Amino acid sequence: MRVYEKVRAYIDEQGLKQKTVAEKAGISNVTFNAIMNGKRTLYADDLKAICIALQVSPELFIEVNSIS
């Protein structure tokens, strides 16, 4: 599952509206919808803003593998 799909699923599971999350993240609705539909790249800065809006860690959506 891609990162934007995980974010979208989380938003849906929490019963939030994408418009509300976009506003809190400071991202336009058009851009946010394009990201959530896989039509625009989800950049690190956007993910950070979305995570701040959702009050979650980016690690919730990104697999971090430890290096041994």
To which residue do tokens 């394009």 refer?
34
| Per-chain mean pLDDT for the chain | 94
Give the per-residue pLDDT at 68: 58
Confirm or reject CATH 3.40.47.10 for domain 3-57, answering yes or no: no
Instruction: Round to whole Å and give the CA distance between 54 and 67.
Output: 29
Q: Give the angle 48-51-52 at the CA atoms, nearest 5°.
A: 85
**pTM here?**
0.88
pLDDT block averages, 10 residues each, the chain of length 68: 96 97 98 97 97 96 73
Percentage of the chain with pLDDT > 90?
A: 90
The residue ranges of every structural domain in the chain are: 3-57
